[in-house]
């Protein structure tokens, strides 16, 4: 059985079947991105990423989806923070270089 397909469970003595929603993505890739781009967020991202399947397997489908979404958002946030820091560094270096060229020379 494919883990990403809906599962059907039939309980003994129960005439109805319960269909589980598909397993949400663990978004472990976004957790790895958090590790590369802004490591402090990686702890929470990997924690949420690793909780997706256990929550889904125990029937907490909304909790599993929330953990999946949270891991993804933490990875995207770390990427955004890295981009912001990178742009600020480029601007800072540009300002320093521009000031270096406009300063009068003190060499005689």
- Main-chain phi, psi angles of 2, to 5 degrees: -75, 135
pTM of the model: 0.74
> How far apart are the C-alpha atoms of 37 and 32, rounded to whole Å?
9
Largest Cα separation within the chain, whole Å, is 98
pLDDT tens-digit profile, the chain (108 residues): 455 555 555 556 655 666 889 999 999 999 999 999 999 999 999 999 999 999 999 999 999 999 999 999 999 999 999 999 999 999 999 999 999 989 887 775
Quote the distance between the C-alpha of residue 14 and its chain's center. 40
Contact, 49 vs 27, CB < 8 A? Answer: yes
Dig out the tokens for 1 from the structure. 């059985």
């Amino acid at each position: 059985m494919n883990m990403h397909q809906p599962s059907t469970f039939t309980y003994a003595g129960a005439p109805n079947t319960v269909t589980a929603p598909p397993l949400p993505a663990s978004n472990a890739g976004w957790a790895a991105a958090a590790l590369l781009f802004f490591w402090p967020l990686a702890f929470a991202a990997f924690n949420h990423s690793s909780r997706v399947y256990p929550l889904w397997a125990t029937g907490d489908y909304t909790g599993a989806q929330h953990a999946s979404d949270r891991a993804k958002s933490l990875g995207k946030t770390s990427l955004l923070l890295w981009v912001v820091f990178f742009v600020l560094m480029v601007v800072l270096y540009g300002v320093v270089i521009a000031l270096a060229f406009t300063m009068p020379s003190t060499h005689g």
